[in-house]
Amino acid sequence: MDIIVLKPSATEEDIRHIVKKLESRGLRVNISEGTERTVIGVIGDTSKIAEEEEDAIRVMPGVEDVMRILKPYKLASREFKAEDTTINVRGNIIGGKKIQVIAGPCAVENRTMLMSIAEKVRDAGASFLRGGAFKPRTSPYSFQGLGEEGLKYLAEARERTGLPVVTELMDPRDIEVILKYADIVQIGARNMQNFRLLLEVGTRDKPVLLKRSFSATIKEWLMAAEYIMSRGNQNVILCERGIRTFETATRNTLDLSAVPLLKQLTHLPVIVDPSHGAGKWDLVAPMSKAAVAAGADGLLIEVHINPEEALSDGEQSMKPAAFKKLMEELKPIAAAVGREI
């Protein structure tokens, strides 16, 4: 249902014109005359009215505003599916009682480094290994990733450690090679509204980790999930990683209130990436604890053997020892909110 607010100057003819248009789409109307405004309630399945049509109604003579009452996403909504979605990846359940920790380097830089990190994060208690083979970099002069070679190392690390692999897809042309190696396909923040990429992963059944764009509202983020789900793939994991605000003391502003809010709005699992959110390694531990306390289903944490030598995001990477300590410290907090880690 939508609400159309009329201008005080709207004429009888304006109203007839609007009503006729709505009825031609199979919708019914309820006209309510107030003392200062007349309002048209649109009854029927207005989810069929796409945003462009809302705009079209907004420019009709006599119309002051159009207010949408229903959410523009459906499959992703808690209303459509009340129970929590859980996603089973090689036996690890995301969205269940256990908080899942995905750890690893920002980019796969070389084989030795990756094997070493993978073993260390597994020993510390991580359940998944992350690492980028294709890297979206703001500078054309920065390291762009190892490509398929990096994916092979990830697969080798999975064999060694048993940790399933999360890695990013940046280009629809890479979908096959990514699917060949990854257990979860990551859609990065900059690609959250790369609709062709969303449609591509939507037609496969591999779980998708959908990062929030640093400039996306929660509604737009859920619409991006809806894009994927509308094509068939219901295995979407949402990942909060900080939004862009006026504050420059941190790289982004981690929006932790999104976690409990999403738990109301959607049935999808919600995890938090405190490394990108804060952008400083010494904020990662407190923000990880806060994320778990706020109800997150998991964490995505950058860990690097030697951040000084990292080819990307060194500033926000933890060393393995700090990561191990954090994993210990998270246990009583997880327990305090009825979870385990």
Q: Which of residues 13-32 bind a second copy (CB under 8 A)?
A: 21, 30, 32
For 120, residues 6+ apart whose C-beta sits below 8 A from its C-beta are 303, 305, 320, 323, 324
Burial of 13 (0-12, 13-18, 19+ CB in 10 A): exposed
Nearest in space to 280 (alpha carbons), one of 258, 259, 253: 253
Out of 24, 34, 83, 176, name the contact with a second copy by CB under 8 A: 34
Task: In whole angstroms, give the CA distance from residue 17 to residue 8.
Answer: 16
Q: Which is nearer to a second copy, 120 or 276 (CB)?
A: 276
Is residue 213 a contact residue for a second copy (CB under 8 A)?
Answer: yes
Out of 11, 13, 25, 47, name the contact with a second copy by CB under 8 A: 47
Instruction: Quote the strand ranges of 173-331, DSSP E.
Output: 184-187, 208-211, 236-240, 270-272, 298-302
Shortest Cβ 158–a second copy spacing (Å)? 25
Is residue 321 a contact residue for a second copy (CB under 8 A)?
Answer: no
Is residue 240 a contact residue for a second copy (CB under 8 A)?
Answer: no
Amino acid at position 133, single letter: A
Reading the block at residue 187, the tokens are 């859609």
Out of 20, 91, 176, 248, name the contact with a second copy by CB under 8 A: 248
Q: Which is nearer to a second copy, 126 or 228 (CB)?
A: 228
Q: Which of residues 249-278 bind a second copy (CB under 8 A)?
A: 249-250, 253-261, 264, 277-278
Out of 20, 24, 26, 59, name the contact with a second copy by CB under 8 A: 59
Q: Which of residues 160-189 bind a second copy (CB under 8 A)?
A: 170-173
Reading the block at residue 257, the tokens are 């209130």
Nearest in space to 84 (alpha carbons), one of 76, 134, 92, 193: 76
Is residue 329 a contact residue for a second copy (CB under 8 A)?
Answer: yes
Q: Which of residues 283-302 bind a second copy (CB under 8 A)?
A: 283, 286-287, 289-295
Is residue 191 a contact residue for a second copy (CB under 8 A)?
Answer: yes
Amino acid at position 55, single letter: D
Out of 103, 126, 166, 243, name the contact with a second copy by CB under 8 A: 243
Burial annotation 59-81 (CB, 10 A radius, 16+ → b, else e): eeebbeebeeeebbbebbbbeee
Q: Which of residues 61-120 bind a second copy (CB under 8 A)?
A: 65, 67, 69-70, 72, 79
- State the pairing for strand pair 38-43/28-33: antiparallel
Is residue 139 a contact residue for a second copy (CB under 8 A)?
Answer: yes
Q: Which is nearer to a second copy, 127 or 316 (CB)?
A: 316
